Chain A
């Protein structure tokens, strides 16, 4: 098959409403994501988005490109603060292997790694 050079960028806003929705989705009601007063007493100082909100943005961007993840290996390289935008991208390195990235506010990598992609279906 022919692999696209890049996976089209997909962006969401990690608003407080999105944090609530993600908590409902994962049943992860950790107050560090939802409660500004609680988060103020943590090293982050303010609420941070669930880490896998960024991962699932990448998963969704790949699916929308008609591909699926055969394997993926990523690390969460920085926190995303609630209110920041998240943008997922992937760049083809050859033979279906992609460098994958999610940026906060279009500039700070919060997720980096690689994935091998295959056609869906």
Chain B
């Protein structure tokens, strides 16, 4: 039997979706290079950390309804770097939720770290479809 879809009612502030580890591997680096150009040094571009955040967010919360809207985003980089080829671990949790004008607003918190160093934090504000 498949898992039930994650709906707004099932989210609770403080709820953790655990960790997702993303390798900054050749496939992802090639995807980055095809759009933004090749990385210029041994370290991952900041944007690859953001891309990994999106992958972690999608992978951590499954299955999900179709039609969610990514409405806004915060980000903060610590200045720490991570080399291409390394793995980044993302911690995914629910910070808050609110019903406004009939729409389901959910704020997800994400924190990226590699080799014990925090790289970035961010919050994704989504309008959840169901």
Which residue numbers of A lie inside 8 Å of B, CB to CB? 12, 17-18, 21-28, 50-53, 55-57, 59-60, 62-63, 68-76, 113, 118, 120-121
Contacts and interface: CB of A to CB of B under 8 A. Distances in A.
Nearest to A22: B35
Contacts of A71: 74-76
A12 to B, nearest CB: 6
Contacts, number: 97
Question: In the complex, which range does the number of interface residues on chain B fall in?
Answer: 20 to 34
B51 interface: yes
A21 B35 contact: yes
Given A24-B27, A52-B51, A12 B74 contact: no
A52 B50 contact: yes
A43 B61 CA distance: 24
B54 to A, nearest CB: 5
B65 to A, nearest CB: 12
Given A24-B27, A25-B51, A60 B36 contact: yes
Given A27-B58, A52-B51, A73 B74 contact: yes
Given A21-B34, A56-B51, A76-B71, 14 more contacts: A18-B35, A22-B35, A24-B28, A24-B31, A26-B52, A26-B54, A28-B58, A52-B51, A52-B54, A59-B46, A71-B75, A73-B73, A74-B72, A113-B72
Given A26-B55, A28-B54, A72-B75, A18 B34 contact: yes
